[in-house]
């Protein structure tokens, strides 16, 4: 969807790239001033077009008001200002209302029922605006960094280009203004980078349609009743297939986003660096969805206190940060458990890495890569199945092994 | 292993080709053939699924 539609290339990417480079050639002075507005204009049109077609029709288009509100509020951002905090609250509130109101009301209902009272009803699921989970994180980054003095308030045209930069608007990589802003002036047509951009887009499409969709043939079996009759080995194979599917799907998506940015002469953050070869879970999170991992570290884990407290406090911070990361991936219990599983693995790794007698050497490294891969794979079982399906699969696996 | 990883990264566009003083027309042709091959393979496998997992659902 979107990145594998012809309209993305014909209506948005190709014309915007051409005009972006032509603007500077035709008028070096004014062209440079026009570029941010060009990106913002195409980004707004992109949001409206795909919002209308895939994300709720007119309501999906109206969600563009969220960007307008952010651009207006951001004009008052300055170091130490409470309006920065208002900007953060605004972004979090938008995310919670659209994505989590139904889930949280369901959780409340579960709690009330657990207390023996009459269950309260759940709120209906709302239409989630295109790219909500990603653009709100970029809003929070800018508000928090201006508040702490790490970033000067971006000029309106550049900030509009940043938030509306359509190659990364839908699903990242989550950018930082400090990296993106200066590139708006410096970006120029670079044949080598342009060629790499095309290669990257094509290889991203290859990963999605040839590799990921092939693994889907196996991983999809986890969703149905086949789980009830499958052997433990079959279930393990399907979960492994899911792990490969999600890797090729999201890294393919990221390749297209990064490659599209290359066409403008702009570098956006990398998202993957051979994550399945990581020797421990900490390393895994430095190589898997890198831009999200850094965001969670900077804007959730560090503000909670990071590793500055004792072991107990640090462990709590890790679990809390990864529970939030899990919830960000989806409004359901299984995603929270997935996050907690990774948080718990990180706590165990942290304790283990401080043990003076821990093994080392080449054999241990190979073993630790396999162990990390298995831990991540178990996590995918939580990620890809809801709680009832996960329970059914686990009962089959445990039953089959015993 | 690192050489193999580097090769995949070059093939995927994540890593630039090793610097050459001058790019030959043969290299440009090879690049074009590679792009067409990737595109044809992708087109021949398309249609099984359109949705990317990480787009909000």
List residues of A with catalytic annotation: 329
CA distances from residue B19 to A18, B15, B22, B40 in whole angstroms, order as listed? 27, 11, 9, 28
Residues 6+ away with beta carbon under 8 Å from A222: A235, A238, A239, A242, A381, A384, A385, A389, A393
Out of B11, B34, B42, name the one closest to residue A205 (CB).
B42
Per CB-CB distance under 8 Å, the chain A contacts of B34 are 199
User: Is B13's CB within 8 Å of A270's CB?
Assistant: no
Residues 35-54 of B with CB under 8 A from A: 35, 38-39, 41-42, 45-46, 48-54
Boundary-marking domain end, from A162, A189, A216: A189
User: Is B12's CB within 8 Å of A270's CB?
Assistant: no
Distance of CA A276 to the CA centre of its chain: 18
- B18 interface with A at CB cutoff 8 Å: no
Residue A367 lies in a domain: yes
Residue A396 lies in a domain: yes
Half-sphere exposure of A282 (CA within 13 A, CB side): 9
Stretch (H or E) spanning A78: none
A203 and A145 assigned to the same domain: no
- B19 interface with A at CB cutoff 8 Å: no
A113 and A237 assigned to the same domain: no
Out of B35, B46, B55, name the one closest to residue A1 (CB).
B55
Q: How far apart are CA B19 and CA B16, in angstroms?
A: 8
Q: How far apart are CA A304 and CA A254, in angstroms?
A: 29
Pull the structure tokens for residue B47: 């249609």
Boundary-marking domain end, from A144, A164, A189: A189
Mutate: best of B7, B18, B28, B38, partner A, most A CBs <10 A: B38
Mutate: best of A3, A194, A202, partner B, most B CBs <10 A: A202
CB-CB neighbours of A10 under 10 Å:
10
In the block, tokens 């960007």 appear at: A67
Pull the structure tokens for residue A187: 């970006």
| φ, ψ dihedrals at A259, nearest 5° | -65, -40
Q: What is the pLDDT of residue B56?
A: 60
CA distances from residue A59 to A139, A311, B8 in whole angstroms, order as listed? 21, 47, 42
A162 and A207 assigned to the same domain: no
Pull the structure tokens for residue A57: 């029709």
A241 and A328 assigned to the same domain: yes
Out of B45, B53, B54, name the one closest to residue A209 (CB).
B45
Q: Within chain A, which residues score under 70 in pLDDT?
A: 401-402
A215 and A165 assigned to the same domain: no
Q: What is the pLDDT of residue A117?
A: 83
Quick one: how many helices (H) and strands (E) in chain A?
21, 0
Report the gap between the CA of A192 and the closest CA in chain B (Å): 8
Predicted structure pTM score = 0.91
User: Which residue in chain A has the smallest CA separation from B34?
Assistant: A199
Mutate: best of A97, A201, A208, A250, partner B, most B CBs <10 A: A208
Q: How far apart are CA A128 and CA A29, in angstroms?
A: 40
Residue A292 lies in a domain: yes
User: Is A202's CB within 8 Å of B56's CB?
Assistant: no
Q: How far apart are CA A238 and CA A230, in angstroms?
A: 10
A104 and A244 assigned to the same domain: no
Report the gap between the CA of A212 and the closest CA in chain B (Å): 9
Pull the structure tokens for residue A106: 């369901």
User: Which residue in chain B has the smallest CA separation from A169?
Assistant: B55
Q: What is the pLDDT of residue A401?
A: 65
In the block, tokens 């879970």 appear at: A281
- B4 interface with A at CB cutoff 8 Å: no
Boundary-marking domain end, from A158, A189, A220: A189
Stretch (H or E) spanning A264: helix A232-264
| φ, ψ dihedrals at A192, nearest 5° | -65, -45
User: Is A203's CB within 8 Å of B54's CB?
Assistant: no
Count A/B contacts: CB-CB distance under 8 Å.
96
Q: What is the pLDDT of residue A386?
A: 86
Report the alpha-carbon angle A88-A94-A95, nearest 5: 90
Residues 6+ away with beta carbon under 8 Å from A28: none
Q: Within chain B, which residues score under 50 in pLDDT?
A: none
Q: How far apart are CA A198 and CA A94, in angstroms?
A: 35
Per CB-CB distance under 8 Å, the chain A contacts of B49 are 212-213, 216
User: Which residue in chain A has the smallest CA separation from B19?
Assistant: A192
Residue A249 lies in a domain: yes
A130 and A227 assigned to the same domain: no
Per CB-CB distance under 8 Å, the chain A contacts of B55 are 1-2, 131, 170-171, 253
Out of B48, B55, B57, name the one closest to residue A213 (CB).
B48
Q: How far apart are CA A88 and CA A320, in angstroms?
A: 19
A59 and A114 assigned to the same domain: yes
A173 and A248 assigned to the same domain: no
- B28 interface with A at CB cutoff 8 Å: no
A213 and A175 assigned to the same domain: no
Q: How far apart are CA A104 and CA A111, in angstroms?
A: 10
Residue A21 lies in a domain: yes
Q: What are A345-381's pLDDT values in tens digits? A: 999 999 998 888 888 888 989 999 999 999 999 999 9
Mutate: best of A131, A209, A222, partner B, most B CBs <10 A: A209
Q: What are A265-316's pLDDT values in tens digits? A: 999 999 999 999 999 999 999 999 999 999 999 999 999 998 888 889 999 9
User: Is A4's CB within 8 Å of B53's CB?
Assistant: no
Residues 6+ away with beta carbon under 8 Å from A361: none
Q: Smallest Cα–Cα separation from A369: which of A380, A358, A377?
A: A377
The boundaries of the domain holding residue A366 are 199-401
Domains of chain A: total: 2
In the block, tokens 């050639």 appear at: A25
A213 and A296 assigned to the same domain: yes
User: Is A250's CB within 8 Å of B52's CB?
Assistant: yes
Handedness of CA A288, A291, A296, A298 (dihedral sign): positive
Q: What is the pLDDT of residue A199?
A: 95
Q: What is the pLDDT of residue A262?
A: 97
Buried b (16+ CB within 10 A) or exposed e, B3-25: eeeeeeeeebbbeeeeeeeeeee
Buried b (16+ CB within 10 A) or exposed e, A228-246: eebebebbbebbbbbbbbb
Q: What is the pLDDT of residue B23?
A: 66
Q: How far apart are CA A196 and CA B11, in angstroms?
A: 9
Q: What is the pLDDT of residue B20?
A: 67
Residue A207 lies in a domain: yes
Q: What are A131-141's pLDDT values in tens digits? A: 888 999 999 99
Q: What is the pLDDT of residue B22?
A: 64
Residue A40 lies in a domain: yes
Residue A194 lies in a domain: no
A111 and A168 assigned to the same domain: yes
DSSP states of A313-349: HHHHHHHHHHHHHHHHH-SSHHHHHHHHHHHHHHHHH
Report the alpha-carbon angle A153-A154-A160, nearest 5: 135
Report the gap between the CA of A208 and the closest CA in chain B (Å): 8
């Amino acid at each position: 969807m979107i990145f594998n539609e012809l309209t993305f290339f014909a209506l948005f990417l190709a014309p915007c790239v051409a005009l972006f480079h032509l603007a500077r050639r035709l008028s070096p002075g004014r062209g440079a001033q026009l570029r941010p507005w060009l990106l913002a204009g195409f980004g707004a049109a992109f949001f409206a077009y795909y919002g209308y077609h895939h994300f709720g029709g007119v309501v999906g288009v109206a969600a563009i008001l969220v960007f307008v509100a952010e651009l207006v509020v951001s004009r008052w951002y300055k170091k130490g200002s409470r309006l920065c905090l208002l900007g953060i609250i605004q972004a979090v509130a938008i995310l919670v209302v659209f994505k989590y109101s139904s889930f949280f009301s369901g959780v409340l209902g579960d709690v009330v029922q657990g207390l023996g009272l009459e269950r309260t009803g759940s709120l209906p699921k709302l239409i989630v605006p295109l790219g909500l989970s990603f653009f709100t994180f970029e809003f929070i980054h800018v508000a928090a960094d201006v508040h702490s003095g790490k970033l000067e308030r971006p000029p309106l045209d550049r900030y509009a280009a940043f938030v509306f930069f359509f190659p990364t608007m839908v699903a990242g990589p989550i950018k930082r203004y400090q990296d993106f802003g200066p590139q708006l002036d410096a970006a120029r047509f670079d044949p080598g980078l342009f060629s790499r951009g095309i290669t990257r887009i094509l290889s991203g499409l290859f990963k999605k349609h040839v590799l990921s969709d092939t693994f889907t043939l196996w991983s999809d079996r986890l969703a149905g009743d086949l789980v009830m009759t499958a052997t433990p080995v079959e279930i393990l194979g399907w979960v492994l297939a899911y792990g490969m599917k999600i890797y090729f799907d999201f890294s393919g998506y990221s390749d297209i986003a990064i490659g599209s940015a290359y066409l403008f002469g702009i570098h956006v953050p990398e998202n993957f660096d051979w994550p399945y070869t990581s020797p421990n879970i900490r390393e895994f999170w430095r190589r898997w969805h890198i831009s999200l991992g850094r965001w969670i570290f900077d804007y959730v884990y560090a503000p909670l206190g990071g590793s500055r407290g004792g072991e107990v406090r640090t462990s709590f911070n890790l679990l809390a940060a990864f529970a939030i990361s899990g919830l960000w991936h989806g409004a359901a219990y299984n995603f929270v458990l997935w996050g907690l599983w990774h948080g718990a693995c990180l706590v165990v790794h942290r304790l283990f890495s401080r043990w003076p007698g821990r093994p080392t050497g080449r054999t241990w490294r190979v073993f630790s890569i396999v162990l990390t891969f298995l831990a991540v794979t178990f996590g995918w079982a939580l990620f890809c199945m809801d709680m009832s399906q996960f329970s059914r699969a686990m009962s089959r696996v445990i039953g089959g092994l015993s | 292993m690192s050489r193999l990883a580097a090769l995949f990264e070059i093939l995927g566009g994540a890593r630039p080709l090793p610097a050459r003083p001058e790019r030959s027309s043969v290299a440009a042709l090879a690049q074009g053939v590679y792009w067409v091959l990737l595109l044809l393979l992708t087109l021949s496998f398309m249609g099984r699924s359109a949705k990317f997992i990480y787009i909000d659902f």
